[in-house]
C-alpha cells in the first residue's frame, strides 16, 4: 500500500506473488467456513437420528420393564398357588388318614357288634344305644367322604390354575425374547446409519472441496486478467480477495451515475469476466458481488437520505451496467454497506478517500 500511495510501480515479483497469496488465504478461509458448516449440519442430522433412536430404545426398555413387572406378579401368584396346593395336599393326606381311621373304627365297631350279638348272654346292651352308635359312625363316614370330595375338587382347580400360569409364563418369555431381538436389530440399524452418515459427510466434504478449489483457480485467473486489463493504477487496487475501485474513478461526488471513465473501466472488467465465465464449469454456482462503501461524512439529500442509500445505489448502478454489457443477472449481486466497514478508521482526507470505494469479489452463491 505504501508503494501505491507513493505512486511508484510495484516490483514485478511482488505483483506476481501477491494474488497467489491472496488466493491461498481466501481458499483456506472458504474451506474452514465450509468445513464448519458441514460439521454443524452433520451434528444436527446425527443428533436428530440419535434422538429418534434413543426414543425408540426408551420405549422398548419401558415395555421390557413392564413385562418384567408382569412376570414378577405372575411369579408371585404362582408361588401363592403352590403354597395353597401344598396346603390342600396336606389336608387331603390328613383326610385320607382320617378315612382310614374311620374305616378301622367301623370295622372295630362291627366286630364289637358281632361280639355283642353273639354274646348276648354275657354282655347286655340296649339296642337303642347300639343304633345310635352306628348312626354316629355312619354320619362321620359321610362327612369324611364329602370332605374328601371337596379336597379333590380344590386340587383339580389348583392344578388347572398352575397349568394356566405356566402357559402365561411361557408366553411372556416368548414376548421378552421378541423384544430383545427387536432391540438388538434397532441398535444394529443405528450403527449402520451412523456409518452411512460418516461416509456421506466425507464424500460431501471431498466434493465441496473440489468445487472450492476449481472456483479459486478461476478467481485467480480472473484477478490476473483484470489486473492486466486495468493496468497499474493507484486508484484501483487489490485488497484481500477483492478488487477495490475508488469512487472517484466511477462516480462524481454525491452521485450514483457511472461517469465516462467509470463506464470505460467497467467495460474492461465485463470483457474479462465474460472470457473467464465461459470456462467456468456449470456445476460451480459463482457470483460477482459488488459492494458499495462510503466515508463517515453524512449525506442527506432528497435522492439519498443516508450513506447507506448512496452506497447501495452505486453498487446497483455498477450491476446494471455490467448487465448491459452481457453479464448474466443471476451471476451478479449488489450490496450497500454505507460507512460501517471502513478500510481506514481515521478521519484524515486520505482515509476518507480510501473508504469511498466499490469492491468486487468473485465467490460462490
pLDDT digits (tens, 9 = 90+) for 89-101: 777 677 667 667 7
User: Look-up: residue for cell 348272654?
Assistant: 121
Strands 286-293 and 332-336, bridge-based pairing:
parallel
Walk along the chain (365 residues) in steps of 10 and give the mean pLDDT of each run. Answer: 42 59 81 85 78 74 76 77 76 70 75 66 60 78 80 81 82 82 80 70 54 53 56 62 85 90 88 80 81 92 92 95 92 93 90 91 78
Q: Which CATH superfamily is domain 231-364 in?
A: OmpA-like domain (3.30.1330.60)
Closest by CA to 193, choosing from 55, 37, 45, is 45
CB-based contacts of 362: which residues, under 8 Å, 6+ apart?
215, 218, 219, 222, 223, 286, 287, 288, 289
CA 292 to chain centre: 41
Architecture per CATH, 51-203: Orthogonal Bundle (1.10)
Burial class (CB within 10 angstroms; exposed 0-12, middle 13-18, buried 19+) of 134? middle
The domain segmentation of the chain, as residue ranges, is 51-203, 231-364
Please indicate, yes or no, whether the overall pTM of this predicted structure exceeds 0.85. Answer: no
- Torsion of the alpha carbons at 108, 112, 117 and 118, rounded to the nearest 10: 100
Helix 307-324 to helix 260-277 angle (10° resolution) is 60
User: What are 140-168's pLDDT values in tens digits?
Assistant: 878 878 887 887 888 888 888 888 888 88
Cell of 12: 514485478
pLDDT the model gives residue 153: 82
Cβ atoms of 235 and 248 within 8 Å: the answer is yes
Amino acid at each position: 500500500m505504501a508503494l501505491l500511495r507513493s505512486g511508484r510501480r510495484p516490483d514485478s515479483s511482488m505483483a506476481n506473488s501477491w494474488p497467489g497469496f491472496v488466493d491461498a488465504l481466501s481458499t483456506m478461509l472458504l474451506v474452514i467456513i465450509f468445513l464448519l458448516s458441514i460439521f454443524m449440519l452433520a451434528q444436527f442430522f446425527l443428533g436428530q437420528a440419535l434422538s429418534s433412536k434413543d426414543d425408540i430404545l426408551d420405549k422398548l426398555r419401558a415395555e421390557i420393564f413392564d413385562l418384567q413387572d408382569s412376570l414378577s406378579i405372575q411369579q408371585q401368584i404362582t408361588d401363592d398357588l403352590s403354597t395353597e396346593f401344598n396346603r390342600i395336599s396336606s389336608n387331603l393326606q390328613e383326610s385320607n388318614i382320617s378315612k382310614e381311621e374311620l374305616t378301622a373304627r367301623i370295622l372295630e365297631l362291627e366286630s364289637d357288634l358281632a361280639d355283642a350279638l353273639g354274646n348276648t348272654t354275657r354282655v347286655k346292651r340296649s339296642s337303642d344305644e347300639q343304633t345310635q352308635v352306628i348312626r354316629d359312625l355312619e354320619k362321620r363316614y359321610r362327612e369324611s367322604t364329602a370332605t374328601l370330595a371337596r379336597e379333590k375338587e380344590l386340587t383339580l382347580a389348583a392344578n388347572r390354575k398352575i397349568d394356566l400360569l405356566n402357559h402365561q409364563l411361557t408366553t411372556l418369555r416368548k414376548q421378552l425374547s421378541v423384544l430383545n431381538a427387536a432391540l438388538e436389530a434397532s441398535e444394529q440399524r443405528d450403527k449402520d446409519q451412523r456409518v452411512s452418515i460418516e461416509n456421506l459427510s466425507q464424500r460431501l466434504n471431498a466434493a465441496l472441496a473440489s468445487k472450492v478449489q476449481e472456483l479459486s483457480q478461476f478467481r485467480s485467473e480472473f484477478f490476473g486478467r483484470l489486473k492486466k486489463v486495468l493496468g497499474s493504477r493507484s486508484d484501483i487496487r487489490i485488497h484481500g480477495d477483492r478488487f477495490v475501485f475508488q469512487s472517484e474513478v466511477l462516480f462524481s461526488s454525491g452521485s450514483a451515475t457511472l461517469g465516462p471513465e467509470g463506464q470505460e473501466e467497467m467495460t474492461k472488467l465485463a470483457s474479462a469476466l465474460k472470457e473467464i465465465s465461459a470456462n467456468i464449469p456449470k456445476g460451480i454456482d459463482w457470483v460477482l458481488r459488488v459492494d458499495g462503501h462510503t466515508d463517515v461524512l453524512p449525506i442527506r439529500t432528497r435522492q439519498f437520505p443516508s450513506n447507506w442509500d448512496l452506497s447501495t445505489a452505486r453498487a446497483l448502478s455498477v450491476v446494471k451496467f455490467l448487465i448491459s454489457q452481457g453479464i448474466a443477472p443471476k451471476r451478479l449481486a449488489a450490496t450497500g454497506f454505507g460507512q460501517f466497514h471502513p478500510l481506514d478508521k481515521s478521519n484524515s482526507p486520505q482515509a476518507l478517500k480510501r473508504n469511498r470505494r466499490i469492491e468486487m469479489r468473485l465467490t460462490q452463491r
